[in-house]
Amino acid sequence: MNSQNYYELYRLSSIGTALTDALDVLIGEGRISPQLAMKVLNNFDRVITETLSKNVDANLTFKGHLDTYRFCDEVWTFLLKDVTFKLQRSEMITADRVKIVSCNSKKPGEA
């Protein structure tokens, strides 16, 4: 097992839910144990955190209207409305509602 703990937050992403679903199927068929699935998920937590920080080189800015904010257990939750994301290459995305869930980047050991 990993000595360091990583945030489990990315399990909510599409790649995380896809993995969870795939693991659920295998557990349901009795082909892997839930314990093994947990190990895979822990590996996923580590790999996605490392990959996002090392293999992604993209910045974006966004503006919007803050509808709700919450800071609990070191986790910021923002509910934004009428958001405009500005990507590189001047690509723009608009969304009428986006939820942001954000963990502290300073203490990744204390997930």
Question: Binding of another protein at residue 110 (CB under 8 A)?
Answer: no
- Please state, in angstroms and rounded to a whole number, the distance separating the CA atoms of residues 111 and 103: 8
Does residue 4 contact residue 50 with C-beta atoms inside 8 Å? no
Beta carbons of 52 and 44 less than 8 angstroms apart: no
Report whether 40 contacts 19 (CB < 8 A). yes
The yes or no reply on residue 88 touching another protein (CB under 8 A) is yes
Residue 43 contacts another protein per CB under 8 A: yes
> Which spans of this chain sit near another protein (rule: CB under 8 A)?
7, 9-10, 12-15, 17-19, 21-23, 25-26, 31-33, 35-36, 39-40, 43-44, 46-49, 51-53, 55-69, 71, 76, 78-80, 83, 85, 87-89, 91, 93, 95, 97-106, 108
